Amino acid sequence: MSKESREKLKQISKENKKAVNHYEKIKKRKNIDPSEYIVDMKDKNNVIEFDNLKTYFYTDVGIVKAVNGVSFDIPKGKTVALVGESGCGKSVTNLTLMRLVQGPSGQIVGGEIRYRTESGEVLDLTKIPMSYMEKIRGNEISMIFQEPMTSLNPVFTIGDQISETIELHNKDMSKKQIKERTIELLTIVGISRADEIYKSYPHQLSGGMRQRVMIAMSLSCNPKLIIADEPTTALDVTIQAQILDLMRDLKNQINASILLITHDLGVVAEMADYVVVMYAGKIVEQGTAMDIYNSPKHPYTIGLLKSKPVVNKYTERLYSISGQVPNPINMPNYCYFKSRCEKSFDKCNGDYPSLNDLGDGHKVSCWLYDKDSKGER
Ligand SMILES: Nc1ncnc2c1ncn2[C@@H]1O[C@H](COP(=O)(O)OP(=O)(O)OP(=O)(O)O)[C@@H](O)[C@H]1O
Ligand code: SF4
Ligand SMILES: [Mg+2]
């Protein structure tokens, strides 16, 4: 390694330490004044509002701006799909919401996540004390993970595991009521022979059944918001479709909002009310599912929609958009999609495109739709 590179790495490490210490110090404070995190909702119909959220990783080679100014809302009782290629920042957005970003390298450096609690208080989740967050997590906001085996405990029966969460949230329920509710939840998620499955251990179930159990578990606390991060990616295509059907049914039965995270636009077509498309840490397009499917505007969204998954075969890379996402460290100042965009024109070499509202909340970040650049392309 050259002397120059060594010096550069040393400089990065010094700057990282300074930044990380700053954020850790803020996090570790005791007795945070509620005025720091009690906020107002922009719209009372939303259950959650992400506002200019920024989550960075301070790595040895530089800063990864994993979530770089993300803003979107999840209305009450609606399903919002967060889509985009691997590494675009979907999971980090979710981990930020749950306050599970791994420090000290990962830090929330800006923005707000406004959430209306069951008691009606509006909190900025990025700033509340961790002890407060622990109460909300798994209580008002629940999660369905990609790989249920890692979330289910192999040494306890399915019945015990679901019952435990029900008990935790319903202290006044009798043992009999808890068992009845557990069986009821297993039935709701489409498990026939629920009595039998109640007594089974996770390894005795198929992948699809385990995912159903996870969904039952996520419902056991009557959540206001369910986050499903790639809930079907580990399953084969037929089971995937069944789980998505189940989630769609549930969406209509329970009054919870759902944040569905997926790299596959195809899987959300029938389920989402709204779609948010992310690219390299930023939102490039958002709108109703109808807007996105029937009238996609951003060249990236159009590319995503054109790429079709391979039937009956799980492949890591489903997209046929050529080229690669730019290096997350040292992102350019201009549109991040430019190197892969067939529509780019002079203006795309300039600043990062502004967000253009096409009406009714359909927003796109692309110079093609900038009113002032008409005639240039
Ligand atoms: N702990 C970490 N340290 C450094 N960089 C990280 C860390 N976790 C995530 N990143 C980076 O943040 C960016 C966003 O990652 P994220 O996991 O949110 O992607 P994703 O959209 O969920 O992708 P996938 O579809 O593969 O799950 C990526 O560039 C990733 O490399
Ligand atoms: S701003 Fe330009 S380069 Fe970026 S997506 Fe739009 S047309 Fe393509
Ligand atoms: Mg992910």
Q: What would the pLDDT profile of 41-61 be if each residue is shown by its tens digit? A: 999 999 999 999 999 999 999
What is the number of alpha carbons within 13 Å of residue 345 lying toward its C-beta?
Answer: 13
Closest CA to ligand 1's atom 16: 89
Q: Which of 58, 59, 64, 283 to mutate to test the pocket of ligand 1 (most atoms within 8 A of CB)?
A: 64
pTM above 0.85, yes or no: yes
Atom of ligand 2 nearest to the CA of 343: 7
Residues with CB under 5 A from ligand 3 (ion): 91
pLDDT in tens, 163-209: 998 998 888 999 999 999 999 999 988 899 999 999 999 999 988 89
What is the full DSSP assignment across 165-223? HHHHH-TT--HHHHHHHHHHHHHHTT-SSHHHHHT--GGGS-HHHHHHHHHHHHHTT--
pLDDT in tens, 67-95: 999 999 999 999 999 999 989 999 999 99
Euclidean distance between the first and the last CA atom of the chain, given in angstroms as a whole number? 45
Q: Work out the percent of the chain whose per-residue pLDDT is above 90.
A: 61
Closest CA to ligand 1's atom 27: 86
pLDDT score of 375: 57
The reply to whether ligand 1 has any atom less than 6 angstroms from the CB of 263 is: yes
Q: What is the mean pLDDT of residues 208-221?
A: 89
Q: Return the higher-pLDDT residue of 353 and 254.
A: 353
Q: What is the mean pLDDT of residues 219-248?
A: 84
104: preceding bond cis by omega (within 30 degrees): yes
* Span of 45-59, 116-130, 294-308, 320-334 with lowest mean pLDDT: 320-334
Closest CA to ligand 2's atom 6: 366
Please give the structure tokens belonging to residue 81. 């799909």
With H, G, I as helix, E, B as strand and everything else as coil, classify residue 91.
helix
pLDDT score of 308: 54
Measured in angstroms, how far is the CA atom of residue 41 from the centroid of ligand 3? 27
Q: Which residues contact 322 (CB under 8 A, 6 or more apart)?
A: 340
* Span of 145-154, 213-222, 309-318 with lowest mean pLDDT: 309-318
The reply to whether ligand 1 has any atom less than 6 angstroms from the CB of 86 is: yes
Atom of ligand 1 nearest to the CA of 88: 21
Instruction: Choose among 120, 125, 132: nearest CA to 31.
Output: 132
Closest CA to ligand 1's atom 30: 87
